[in-house]
Amino acid sequence: MMGTDHRINIEKLSDEICRSIFNHVAFQERSEDERERLTDIGDKIANKCKGLPLAAKVLGGLMQSKRTREEWDRVLSSELLPQGDFSGDMEFVGEQYLHVLAARSFFQDFETDEDEGMEFKMHDIVHDFAQYMTKNECLTVDVNTLGEATMETSIERVVHLSMMLSEDELFPKSIHKAKGLRQPLDPALETLRLRSCHCLICFKQLTCIRSLNLPWSSIKEIPYEVGKLIHLRHLNLAYCLELESLPETTCDLCNLQSLDVTFCRSLKELPRAIGKLIKLRHLGNDGSGVDFIPKGIERITCLRTLEVFTVCGGGGENESKAANLRELKDLNHIGGSLEIRNLGGGKEDASDAAEAQLKNKKRLLRLELYFNHNQDNGILIEALQPPSDLEYLTIDGYGGLELPNWMMTLTRLQGLKLFDCENLEVLPPLGRLPNLESPGIELVEGEKAPCWIFRYRKR
C-alpha cells in the first residue's frame, strides 16, 4: 500500500507562456517575414491549447510544415482539440498524424529534398514492435519463406502482402486463398516479367485489393481485367519503363484515388475516359511519355496532384482528344508542383489560360512554364498569373520582351529561374521581393542564352 499526505496540483500554463512554447516550435527556422505574416493566427491557434504544454508542443510541431496562410486558417477553424474533423481533407489528416508521431519520436531523421519530397526513418526497435503487432495481418514472401506450408498457416488472414521473388520463382498458388488481401506491398518485379498470367492472378482472384504497387516492373501492358478491382484506391506503376498502354477499363476503378505513371517513358496516352475517375486525388505523370491530358479532366474536382500538363494546339493530331488549359478552372485543390508545357501564344491561348484561373490554386507552391519562343508570349504569360503564395517559379523559352506585371505580387517567392528568355530587355525590381537574393547568371550547357537564377535570401 502506498499513499501521500501532500499533493501538489499543477496548474495550467498562462496563455502567454503557452503561446511562447507554441511559437518556439512552430516558427523554428522560419524567416522573419513568415513570423510577421502568421503570428496573429498562431496566437489564436495557441489559445486552443487551453494552457496544456504537451498540446502546445504537438500543435507547434504540426504547424512547422504548414506554408500557406490558408493552411493555418484551416487548423484554426477546425476542432483540433481534443479531436477534429480537418474539413474532410485526408491528406491534411495524414500529415497531422505524421507530425504527431514524429513529435513522439516514432519517426526520426527527417530530410526534405528540393522537390519538397520528404524522407524519414523508423528506429529498429519501433519497426520490430510494429511487425510484432501486425504479425497476423502482414506477410512478407521472399526466397527464404516461399514454402507452401509456411504460407498456408496465415495466408487466409493476411491483408498486407510484400513479395520479393527472383526470376526463377513462380507466383505462389496459395495467394489465391488470401481473400481478404487488400494491399500487395512492393510485389516482386521479376515475378511480373515471367508471363502476364501472373499479373492476372491479382486481377481475377484478389478483388479486395486496395493498393497495388508495381514500380520498376517490366510489364508492357495492364490487362483489361484491372477494371474488376473496384476497391482499388492506389495504383503505382512508376518507372515501368516498358509499359505501353493502360486499358480503358482503368476508368472503371470508381474508388481510385492515386495513379502514378511517373517515368513510364513508353506510355504515350492515358485512358480517354479518365474523367470518370471522379475520386482521383493524385496523378503522377512527371517524366512519362504521355503527350497530353485527355478531355474530361475538369470533372476530377478533388484532384490534389497534377505534375505535368501539356498544351496541345496548332491543329496537332492529339488536339481533338486533349484537354485545354480552361479545363483547369475548377481544379482549385491542385497543389505542390505543376509544370505546363508547350505554351504557345496568341489571343486564343491567352483566353484559355485566363479561364484556367491559376491564381485560385492557393496550394500551388512550385510552377514551371515552358513556352515556344513566340514573341506573342507576353499576352499569354499575363493570363497565367499564379497564386501570391507561390515559392518557386521557372520560365523557359519565353519570347516576350518583359516579364509579367504579376511578378511583383509573389512576395513569398524563394526561387526564380529564367531559361532561354533571349528577348527579355528589362527585368522588374525583383530585389524588392523579400525572399529573393541578387541574381546569379549561369550558362546552361548547350544553350547560348544565359540562365538567370534567383535564390532564397537567408536571414
Residue 452 in this model has a pLDDT that exceeds 90: no
Residue 276 in this model has a pLDDT that exceeds 90: yes
Q: Which three cell numbers stand for residue 129?
A: 514492435
Q: In whole angstroms, what is the distance from residue 94 CA to residue 86 CA?
A: 10
Residue 438 in this model has a pLDDT that exceeds 60: no
pLDDT score of 195 = 34
Distances (CA, A) of 16 to 38, 52, 53, 75, 81: 17, 12, 12, 20, 19
Q: In whole angstroms, what is the distance from residue 49 CA to residue 295 CA?
A: 47
Q: Which three cell numbers stand for residue 219?
A: 510489364
Q: What proportions of the chain, in percent to the nearest 5, are helix, strand and coil?
A: 35, 20, 50
pLDDT band with cut points at 50, 70 and 90 for residue 440: low
pLDDT score of 344 = 85
User: Measuring CA to CA, which residue among 127, 107, 126 is closest to residue 65?
Assistant: 107
pLDDT score of 384 = 96
pLDDT band with cut points at 50, 70 and 90 for residue 182: low
Q: Average the pLDDT over 281-292 and give the result.
A: 95
Give the chain's length.
459
What is the overall mean pLDDT for the chain? 80
Contact indicator for 257, 277 with CB cutoff of 8 Å: no
Query: Which residues share a beta bridge with 456?
Result: 436
pLDDT band with cut points at 50, 70 and 90 for residue 53: confident
DSSP 402: B
**pLDDT, tens only, 197-250:** 455 555 666 677 888 888 888 888 888 888 988 989 999 999 999 999 999 999
Contact indicator for 256, 235 with CB cutoff of 8 Å: yes
**pLDDT, tens only, 95-116:** 777 877 877 778 888 777 655 5
Percent of the chain whose predicted confidence (pLDDT) is above 70: 77
pTM of this structure: 0.77
Residue 117 in this model has a pLDDT that exceeds 80: no
Residue 83 in this model has a pLDDT that exceeds 60: no
pLDDT score of 408 = 93
Q: In whole angstroms, what is the distance from residue 113 CA to residue 188 CA?
A: 28
Q: Average the pLDDT over 420-447 and give the result.
A: 72
pLDDT score of 4 = 78
